[in-house]
Amino acid sequence: MCRKHAVALFVDFDGTMVEIAAGPDDISVPLNLAQALEALAARMDNRLAVISGRSLLDIKRHLGAPAIARAGSHGAEMASGDGSLLGPQPLELPRKALDALAEYARKEGLRFEAKTHGGALHYRSNPERGSDALSFATDISNSYGLAIKTGKCVVEVVQKGANKGNAVRAFMQTATFAGATPIFIGDDVTDEDGFTACKELGGFGICVGNRDDTAAEYSVPNVEGVYEWLELF
Ligand SMILES: [Mg+2]
């Protein structure tokens, strides 16, 4: 099939498809978002994937199981539109690393989020604790040979190697996406890997909101702007 003019779309979830909330479980997902994304994917011959820092299980909890491709845990877990898993199952974090993060959060009054393949410290309610939280998470990451992901008022310890750019590259190698021009839409630091991968593959990134030093060529002001651009609702 000639894919010269076909587009593949990769979209982040929090801050892109839904407004960021005080905590990860506080988001408000528009009632028909899953349906709208599924319809968009169908119009694009399934060249649409949600790429999130949340685990696949967590995405399912908030979005249900629409027939769209998705990557969770910053690209460590991937599934195609029919729900079948792609690639190897990622490792969980060492119990001791998670316990240390949880204990730190308890002592410092931060919110700890145990994720399927990571552990996150949220400091939205005490932003002044952010740099200390980052230092602590970095120490834990170094001690256990792990990696760090930073985001808006959150720092997360994850296994090495997971990033949204690799998820884009992996999807683009599948028959569904191959040959299309990839576009990544995202709002945060971890989306930069997605922007860069799309650029390498002849596409581009769209940043939601303003970020300094972004690899995205274009921007839209907010989540509403994403809905409008995609004519989602
Ligand atoms: Mg985001």
How far is the centre of ligand 1, averaged over its atoms, from the C-alpha of 60 (Å)? Answer: 16
- Please check whether residues 100 and 183 belong to one and the same domain: no
With 0.95 as the threshold, say if the pTM is over it.
Answer: no
In tens, the pLDDT along 76-89 reads 999 999 989 998 88
How far is the centre of ligand 1, averaged over its atoms, from the C-alpha of 83 (Å)? Answer: 22
Beta strands, E only, the chain: 7-11, 48-51, 69-72, 77-79, 85-86, 111-115, 118-122, 147-151, 154-158, 181-186, 204-208, 218-220
In tens, the pLDDT along 179-188 reads 999 999 999 9
How far is the centre of ligand 1, averaged over its atoms, from the C-alpha of 189 (Å)? Answer: 8
How far is the centre of ligand 1, averaged over its atoms, from the C-alpha of 122 (Å)? Answer: 14
- Please check whether residues 139 and 174 belong to one and the same domain: no
Range(s) of the domain holding residue 173: 7-89+162-230
- Please check whether residues 193 and 219 belong to one and the same domain: yes
Could you say which of 158, 176, 194 is where a domain stops? Answer: 158
For 87, left (φ over 0), alpha (ψ -120 to 50), or beta? left
Catalytic residues: 12
Q: Does 68 score more than 90 pLDDT?
A: yes
Could you say which of 131, 158, 185 is where a domain stops? Answer: 158
pLDDT of the residue at 36 = 97
Residue 2 lies in a domain: no
In tens, the pLDDT along 146-158 reads 999 999 999 999 9
